[in-house]
Chain A
Amino acid sequence: MSVQETAGPGGAGRAETETRVLGEVTEDLREVIGEEYVIDMDITMETTFSQDLELESIEFVALADRLRERYGEAVDFVGFLARMDVDQVINMRVGEVVQFIVDSLPAPATAGSA
């Protein structure tokens, strides 16, 4: 893991991408929920949609809508969600969505090549 994180394509870049994507997912989540309790909440990769955020399933639809718009064709949310039922979706951790997005995005360009 440490080798991956420090060298090779997608190594150091992946950790950065993950941080960036977590920030983007968090921003969309806060807007979808739109209530005070979520503004100060520390949303991490371990946060669960059902237990921690108490997300309604229709709010997950709205979240998926925003993420589909944000990431476009590169991220196949339909295919991702098609393999789960509603309980599996709502029982996910935020990190599982973030990992899926990061896995789907084109590998980030390494420093110097951009």
Chain B
Amino acid sequence: MAEVIANGVRLHVQRLEPRGGASADSPIVVMVHGMVMDNISSFYFSLGTCLADAGCDVICYDLRGHGRSERTRGGYRLADSMADLAGLLDALGVDRPVHVVGNSYGATLALAFGLEFTARVASLTLIEPPFLIEGLGEEMARSLSQILVAMTDDEVEEWLDNGAGRAITKATRAAQRLLSDTTIATDMLATPAFSAEALAALPIPVLAVYGENSDIIGQAAGLAALVPECTLIVLEHHTHMVLREATGYLRDLLRWWLFDRRTPPPPYVRPTERRFVTPEWVTQMVPPPDLNTGRRPAVG
């Protein structure tokens, strides 16, 4: 397993290259996954191998505390995450600007990294970034409390013990440990707001992708209005989970973004077989109502 010490933390990294290896002019793409219930695998399988196969030099890694990276007690503020990423690029000897692709919190981190380390970034792809000028920390804490509620309820415990299966149970237990053993919750609440002035001066091209049915779709317009070079793509019939739901289109979109940006973006054909919506239990912050019904005897 590839491990790198960056900013004093042991990070799990996977470098993916096209057959025969990347060349000196291959785009370097760094992928940053989401918070708590996520790890390196979401990008590895959705865009990582695909973009490497298309000719990119791809770096996927587990954020501090996630996946197979070291779970330190502290160091989960946005500034720490940025220092981890900068340290990772240093440790890997990356000395030219990279294309950063982030999902959810990873996209918010990518945008902050672009503002802080502008010379190190060639472009930003932000998939469903929580984005607010006011109250970003509270928004992060809100997302986190959604995850917390979904993991600490009695119904959920029963499901994990009996019906969830090994893979989901392992992932959930790891997330529970991250929340209980580290300062991530308070660190998230301390996320500073973005500066509108700094965003208005951002000299980096930004591709922003949201799902039309995402619970944070209301934040898309503000981002697109503030960032000068922003291409906003809103995918009909999709939610905050668009990376998983619309992997095929995002593969086409990223190939266009990295190799063919002078042409119009690839046409999006909304799925007819399924219309993804955000379930009410997500916005209401309660566990899914049918979690244990399959195993319990029917009532009445």
Contact = CB atoms under 8 A, between A and B. Distances in A.
A54 B1 contact: no
Nearest to B168: A56
B17 to A, nearest CB: 7
B117 interface: no
Interface of A, helix, strand, loop or mixed by DSSP:
helix
Interface of B: 1-2, 14, 16-20, 39-42, 44-46, 49-50, 52-54, 67-68, 165-167, 170-171, 244, 247-248
A57 B52 contact: no
Contact of B46 (A56, A60, A86): A86
Interface string A34-75: 000000000000000010001111101110010000000100
Contacts of A60: 41, 45
21 contacts: A56-B41, A56-B166, A57-B42, A57-B45, A57-B167, A58-B40, A58-B41, A61-B14, A61-B41, A65-B1, A73-B20, A78-B18, A78-B19, A78-B49, A78-B52, A78-B53, A79-B19, A79-B53, A82-B53, A86-B45, A86-B244
B263 to A, nearest CB: 22
B171 A85 contact: no
Contacts of B247: 85-86
B236 to A, nearest CB: 20
A81 interface: yes
A78 B16 contact: yes
A12 interface: no
Given A61-B40, A62-B68, A56 B50 contact: no
A76 interface: yes
A84 B49 CA distance: 9
A89 interface: yes
A44 B10 CA distance: 35
Contacts of B44: 61
B40 A81 contact: no
Q: Is the interface of B mostly helix, strand, loop or mixed?
A: helix
Contact of B67 (A50, A58, A82): A58
Interface of A: 50, 54-58, 60-62, 65, 73, 76-79, 81-82, 84-86, 89
A54 B167 contact: yes
Contacts of B167: 50, 54-57
A55 B244 CA distance: 18
Contacts of B68: 58, 62
A56 B171 contact: yes
B166 A54 contact: yes
B165 A81 contact: no
Contacts of A78: 16-19, 49, 52-53
Contacts of A50: 167
Given A54-B165, A76-B19, A89-B45, A82 B40 contact: no
A92 to B, nearest CB: 12
Among A61, A65, A79: residue with most chain B CB under 10 A: A61
